[in-house]
Structure 1
Amino acid sequence: MNVPVADESSITADDDGPFDPKTGDEIAELFARVMRSRPPPVKRAVFLKPHACATAKFDISADLPERLKVGLFATPGTHDAWVRISSDTSPATPDKANSTVGFSLKVLGVPGTKILAGEEDAQTHDFLTQNHDVFFVDTAQDFLEFTRAIFDRTLDQYLAAHPTFDQILKDMEKPVENALATRYWSTQPYRFGDKDYVKYAVRPCSAWPPEPPAEDEPSYIRARVERDLAASDACFDLQVQLRGDDANAFPLDKATVRWDESVSAPQTVARITIAKQDVAANEAACENMSFTAWHALPEHRPVGSINKARGIAYKKLADERRTKNNVPIREPQP
């Protein structure tokens, strides 16, 4: 396999491109309005419909090539972890609506100072992925304009003027047979030490028989995860896809562009094992957790304006949710 060679001078303080923090502030305020409009307790602004909250083990591979022994992955070993699987819709929306499904991973017992302001001492590291390999807009400013269009009830006009965004949204509306047999992607890039950028992917490594979506059951995704994890273990591989040499083909701040896996194939760096368990019993634990890509070591700093806006918005929204629900800001321990 040909692995792209990194230019040592390619990562600079300006690698994210232009970004105005006010963009993240405005996105946070728009989503906060949605949260405040709902009856208490205050729920998440996004990925609101839970399918599973599971304890897991995160095993960092011992035989990684030197280039991949970076940050969290520099030392092989096993960490406790939490996995939250959810849909980006309200709990009342049936799964046949084909909303985006997210796979959030929180690795515990990770030493080192983190980059999230106010939570630098947290011993956790988060990874956020979804079941489509690109995002539906390019930049944070695009996402702000899209969100404004929803509030202004001008979404049809906005999408008509942005056909690429419209098509990706349609592509994202795909059925999920089994969340444990689904592949997930970060869609956004991250630093990987001083020389590289990567995108993350989560690939299932358990074999599950094909099973068509149960369109007559509004929450069949949850039902199947609960059924399968009550009977057996599940596993996934966490992978990194190194950025290729062509900056136009592997952009850092154009999230609709797919990084070509035939040019740079994802490489496995860790195994996620979800042991057989009653995942429904864990739901309250995940409800009080905050998952953000900024729960991270500096070597894995999120890159791009969408990641920066998320860093601002997710922090503000999580703080407001936990304050109003009288839940302390505290990361889980191993």
Structure 2
Amino acid sequence: MLIRFWLWLGRVLVKSSLVLLVVGLGGWLLGEAYYGWKFSGPAPTEEVVPADEAAQTRAIIDDAIRIVEQHRDNTRVLRDAHAKAHGCVKAEVTVLPDIDSGLRAGVFAEPGKTWNAVMRLSNGNGFPQFDSAPDARGMAIKLLDVPGEKLMKSPTHANEQDFVMFNHPVFFVRDVAEYRQNFNAQANGEKVRAFFPGWDPRSWEVRHLIIALKTLAPAPDSPIDATYSSIAPYKLGLANIKYRVIPDPQSCPPYQLPEQNTALPNFLRNALYQQLSLDRVPACFAFQVQQQNAEHYMPIEDTSVEWDEAISPFVTVARIKVPAQDFDSREQNLACDNLSFNPWHGLAEHRPIGGINRLRKAVYEAVSAYRHERNGASDATRP
């Protein structure tokens, strides 16, 4: 009797597994076919602004203020995202001498030009946590002493050009409306509702949940080992582009980072300090851009869609060198904390485009002003 039961149970489990496999494979194939159809070209080359975007933006700012208050460190108000820095370091950004003529615009207009810059490397979470925790990682670059009229009229940032990135090619929301729904759920402590706002399966964002889970990746060995992407599109002169920064170790002296103790809460800062401050070895990156090909589905208003590199490959326009330096003093870390990065701090030739970038303009400015007012600190430009 017992043997017959186990044989029966085994047959049931095998059949159930086969059914689940077939259903799962069928669902995957249907999903591939659906998104292959949905994400077929062409794509608009101009921005399309929804009528309710301003109201959605105001609501997001309110939620962002709530989050920075929830995550404050005693009386000190932190950023609503990328609160924990691994360090702010000095860098040099040099335009390629042979940069393609069609990409010579803004800060890349002069071949061979070198800009002094500040680079902030960070974790993505709005609350400081151990570096070993799965998280996004961020890179922000601020070029200094950049002449010309800027998109934002703040005298504090009148001579700056900012580039803001994190280490995944796409974002887990498509537009401002979805960002509002997702962000509000997180602010209310309802993480499940961020991607499953109701019982109606048509409102579920399973694909975006998968993107979010991929974004929460294990930490790299060092913050300089990751690739950082703009996610949202920008102008480069007349072209629509996305940009990214990739490690470029062949442009620097060979270096092998000693094994780090990843159980330490700040091992990514330690790795950066080990290379730049103790071993005195510079780090190198390449700054690359990818142009929109509007004949294919490379949307401006949907940041959850990756532009296909097979159709439009990235092209290097500049080299970045982070020289050996000391960066981990109390004064420098405080100045780093007071730095404000905003993709709208810059020239019209690099104007951010798309809904998420329009949202950034308002939210970054509002949260930065609130944070500095609450902390009694001025908006710094250099560490």
TM-score normalized with structure 2 length: 0.78
* SS of the residue 2:213 aligns to: helix
* SS of the residue 2:154 aligns to: coil
* SS of the residue 1:280 aligns to: coil
Which residue matches 1:52?
87
| 2:354 pairs with 1:301 | no
Aligned-CA RMSD value: 2.2
Which range moved further: 254-263 or 92-101?
92-101
The C-alpha deviation readout for 1:184-212, integer Å capped at 9, x for no partner, is: 10100001112x10101001112654888
Which residue matches 1:7?
none
Find the structure with the greater CA-based Rg.
2
Corresponding letter in the other structure for 1:41: R
Pairwise mapping of residues 217-232 of structure 1 onto structure 2 (< 5 A)?
217-230=264-277, 231=279, 232=281
Q: 1:227 to 1:98 in 2, by over 3 A?
A: same
| 2:207 pairs with 1:164 | yes
Identity level (%): 28
Which range moved further: 199-208 or 307-316?
199-208
* SS of the residue 2:317 aligns to: strand
Corresponding letter in the other structure for 1:33: R
CA deviation after TM superposition for structure 1 residue 92, in Å: 4.2
Which residue matches 2:142?
106
Greater percentage in helix = 2
| Distance across 2 between alignment mates of 1:142 and 1:119 | 33
| 2:71 pairs with 1:35 | no
* SS of the residue 1:279 aligns to: coil
Which residue matches 1:238?
287
| Distance across 1 between alignment mates of 2:85 and 2:305 | 29
Which residue matches 2:9?
none
Which range moved further: 50-59 or 22-31?
22-31
| 2:305 pairs with 1:257 | yes
CA deviation after TM superposition for structure 1 residue 329, in Å: 3.5
Conserved 8 A contact 1:229-1:277: yes
Q: Structure 2: which 5+ residue stretches go unaligned?
A: 1-43, 197-203
Pick from 246, 269, 274 the counterpart of residue 322 of structure 2. 274
CA deviation after TM superposition for structure 1 residue 325, in Å: 2.3
Which residue matches 1:312?
362
Q: How many residues align?
A: 321
* SS of the residue 1:253 aligns to: coil
| Distance across 1 between alignment mates of 2:156 and 2:351 | 13
Which range moved further: 139-148 or 200-209?
200-209
Conserved 8 A contact 2:287-2:316: yes
| Distance across 2 between alignment mates of 1:204 and 1:131 | 12
Conserved 8 A contact 2:182-2:194: yes
Which residue matches 1:174?
217
The C-alpha deviation readout for 1:103-135, integer Å capped at 9, x for no partner, is: 000000111111124349610000011111110
Q: Structure 1: which 5+ residue stretches go unaligned?
A: 1-9
| Distance across 2 between alignment mates of 1:197 and 1:220 | 37
Pairwise mapping of residues 175-214 of structure 1 onto structure 2 (< 5 A)?
175=218, 176-194=220-238, 196-206=239-249, 209=256, 214=261
Corresponding letter in the other structure for 1:186: S
- Greater relative CO (CA pairs within 8 A, separation 6+): 1
Conserved 8 A contact 1:112-1:297: yes
